[in-house]
């Protein structure tokens, strides 16, 4: 018996057990102990340390594929879009031969772009000829131009989900669509995001945040969890679990959006272990750019962060200490 078969069987047992009362429920637990397996969690049930996530289902088409647009430009973070890409491409629906998701890249032009680490990609479509998406994935990437923001605003009107990953939240935020909503982003960008977009409710410690048709994931691998969550909303938890199993992905964040609590508390800067006052990330005082303000030395992750601080130091030092 393979791992997925075991999981699938436990799901069936846990579903029918309540119909036959306490005896059946006890039997399920005992059999799990005898065979060295844990009973599978019933869909959307809260477990110790796990929050219950509202199902909030999406309607999948009876036939045909769901178009998913991956918006990319120079500097796109590879795992931010390839992680969700792998999730969506690996989804299989019992009884269906066609792929449930149709994946494609879109950019301002089809000229080759270089992503993080130097990978070269040729976008498949431009904004003018791209298929109308039902899901948009926005990874971390370079500063978006007007054409990019206009395309997101226009396309998001008809999507089921427009999702960002990592600092792709900055791109989505620049459209204005997140104004007044709740969102998250990469933990190293919390301070910058909160300062740049004070009208957005930043949620620290979230693996992902859903607010209406918009969804934002935390950093990097969080995009995998949000993609699995989208799969669950379209096709149910069993399909998402099977997808995760096939990927050999053991993360549980897609079932527990509160699972990034390790990042909920901002790091405290000390003289021995300073953090960048602009972005909140750890810095090496031996090599980091620095500025002195009111007799206190501040260190930064980059020259850009130093320039940001120097332009308005009061903004970053109020109620802050080393």
Instruction: Kindly report the CATH number that applies to the domain delimited by 267-322.
Output: 2.30.170
pLDDT digits (tens, 9 = 90+) for 219-256: 999 999 999 999 999 999 999 999 999 999 999 999 99
Give the total residue count for the chain: 322
pLDDT at 318: 64
pLDDT at 53: 59
As to burial, measured by CB atoms within 10 angstroms (0-12 exposed, 13-18 middle, 19+ buried), residue 38 is exposed
CB atoms within 10 A of CB 87: 26
* H helix intervals, the chain: 3-16, 21-34, 78-89, 146-156, 168-174, 190-196, 222-235, 237-246, 303-311, 313-317
pLDDT at 33: 40
pLDDT at 28: 41
pLDDT at 289: 95
CB atoms within 10 A of CB 321: 8
> CA 241 to CA 162: how far, in whole Å?
22
pTM greater than 0.85: no
pLDDT at 287: 94
* H helix intervals, 17-118: 21-34, 78-89
pLDDT at 249: 98
CB atoms within 10 A of CB 153: 13
Find the radius of gyration of the CA atoms of the chain. 22
Question: Which portions of the chain are predicted below pLDDT 70?
Answer: 1-53, 318-322
Do the Cβ atoms of 291 and 313 come closer than 8 Å?
A: yes
Task: Count the alpha carbons within 13 Å of 82 in the hemisphere toward its beta carbon.
Answer: 8
Domain boundary assignment for the chain:
3-34, 66-263, 267-322
Q: Give the Å distances, CA to CA, from 48 to 45, 136, 317.
A: 10, 33, 39
> CA 197 to CA 218: how far, in whole Å?
16
Q: Mention every residue, 6+ apart, whose C-beta is less than 8 A from residue 38.
A: 10, 32
pLDDT at 35: 40
Do the Cβ atoms of 156 and 136 come closer than 8 Å?
A: yes
Do the Cβ atoms of 265 and 257 come closer than 8 Å?
A: no
Terminal Cα distance for the chain, rounded:
56
pLDDT at 319: 46
Instruction: Give SS3 for 187.
Output: helix
> CA 172 to CA 206: how far, in whole Å?
17
> CA 153 to CA 166: how far, in whole Å?
19
> CA 133 to CA 12: how far, in whole Å?
34
Instruction: Kindly report the CATH number that applies to the domain delimited by 66-263.
Output: 3.40.50.880
pLDDT at 63: 85
Interior/surface letters 8-22, b for 16+ CB within 10 angstroms, e for the rest: bebbebbeebeeeee
Instruction: Give SS3 for 6.
Output: helix
């Amino acid at each position: 018996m393979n791992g997925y078969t075991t999981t699938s069987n436990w799901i069936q047992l846990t579903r029918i057990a309540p119909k036959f009362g306490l005896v059946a429920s006890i039997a399920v637990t005992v059999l799990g102990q005898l065979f060295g397996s844990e009973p599978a969690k019933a869909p959307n049930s809260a477990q110790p340390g796990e929050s219950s996530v509202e199902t909030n289902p999406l309607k999948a088409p009876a036939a045909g594929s769901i178009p998913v647009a991956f918006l990319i430009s120079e500097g796109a973070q590879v795992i931010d879009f390839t992680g969700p890409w792998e999730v969506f491409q690996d989804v299989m629906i019992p009884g269906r031969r066609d792929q449930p998701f149709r994946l494609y890249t879109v950019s301002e032009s089809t000229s080759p772009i270089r992503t993080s680490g130097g990978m070269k990609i040729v976008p498949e479509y431009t904004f003018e000829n791209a298929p109308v998406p039902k899901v948009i994935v926005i990874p971390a990437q370079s500063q978006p131009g007007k054409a990019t923001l206009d395309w997101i605003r226009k396309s998001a009107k008809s999507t089921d989900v427009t999702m960002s990953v990592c600092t792709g939240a900055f791109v989505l935020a620049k459209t204005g669509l997140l104004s007044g909503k709740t969102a998250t982003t990469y933990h190293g960008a919390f301070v910058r995001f909160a300062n740049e977009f004070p009208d957005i409710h930043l949620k620290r410690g979230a693996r992902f945040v859903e607010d209406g048709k918009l969804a934002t994931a935390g950093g990097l691998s969080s995009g995998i969890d949000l993609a699995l969550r989208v799969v669950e909303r379209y096709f149910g938890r069993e399909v998402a679990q099977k997808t995760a199993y096939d990927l050999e992905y053991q993360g549980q964040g897609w079932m527990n959006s509160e699972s990034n609590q390790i990042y909920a508390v901002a790091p405290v800067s000390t003289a021995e272990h300073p953090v960048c006052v602009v972005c909140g990330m750890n810095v090496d005082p031996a090599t980091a750019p620095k500025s002195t303000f009111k007799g206190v030395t501040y260190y930064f992750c980059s020259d850009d962060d130093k320039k940001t601080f120097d332009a308005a130091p009061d903004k970053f030092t109020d109620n802050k200490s080393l």
